[in-house]
């Protein structure tokens, strides 16, 4: 039987922590956001034109080129020498599709 400690909580000692092995389950943000590493690219939002969509300057955009965009997707397109982020449904005709956005990451502290 485990002995109660100073706080009156009983703890088991000597039992190996199954999570100490790093190969065991560990939530991995990279894996969550990058399903296809070979076709996934990151870009950085330039400017605050989409504040109303809560997408801000410096946010990181995750793009998977292997996906076929659906109506409601955000996509990356190129127009002349600029990369644009736009809803697929509103993709301007003079733009060329570059990839499908799978996530936009906003950090509150860096």
Partner 1 sequence: MKQPLFALVDCNNFFVSCERLFRPELNTTPVVVLSSNDGCAISRSNEAKALGIPMGAPAFKYRQLFQDNGVVSFSANFELYGDISRRLTQILTSVTPRIEVYSVDECFLDLSRLAIKDHLEWGRNLRARILKELGIPVSIGIAGSKTLSKIATEIGKQELHRGGVCDLYHMSIKDRRDTIAKVKVRNIWGIGRRLAPQLQAEGITNAAEMAGLRPARARQLMGVHGEQMVYELNGTSCIPLERQHKLQKMISRGRTFGEDTNQPHVVEAALASFATQSAFRLRQSGQLTKRLQVWLSTDRHKPGHRQWSREVLFGTPTADTGQLITSAVQAFAEIYDKSAAYHRASVTLFDFSPAGQLQTDLLGEVDPTLHGQKTERLRAVDGLNKRYGKNTVHYAAQDLADAWEPRKMLRSPRYTTNWDELPLIRPFK
Chain positions contacting partner 1, by CB under 8 A: 29-30, 33-34, 36-39, 41-47, 49-50, 53, 55, 60-61, 65-66, 76-78, 80-86, 90, 92, 96, 98, 105, 110
In angstroms, what CA-CA distances link 76 with 47, 58, 64, 88?
Answer: 15, 16, 10, 9
Q: Provide the minimum distance between the beta carbon of 17 and partner 1 in the complex, in angstroms, as a whole number.
A: 20
Q: How far is the CB of 57 from partner 1 (least distance, A)?
A: 9
Exposure pattern of 23-38 as b/e (b: 16+ CB <10 Å)? eeeeeeeeeeebeeee
Minimal distance, residue 10 CB to partner 1, in Å = 35
């Amino acid at each position: 039987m485990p002995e109660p400690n100073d706080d009156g909580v009983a703890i088991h000692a000597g039992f190996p922590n199954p999570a100490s092995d790093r190969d065991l389950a560990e939530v991995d943000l990279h894996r969550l956001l990058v399903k296809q590493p070979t076709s996934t690219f990151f870009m950085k939002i330039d400017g605050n034109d989409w504040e109303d969509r809560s997408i801000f300057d410096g946010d990181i955009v995750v793009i998977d080129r292997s996906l076929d965009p659906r109506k409601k997707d955000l996509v990356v397109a190129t127009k002349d020498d600029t990369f644009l982020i736009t809803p697929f449904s509103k993709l301007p005709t003079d733009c060329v599709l570059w990839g499908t956005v799978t996530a936009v990451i906003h950090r509150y502290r860096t």
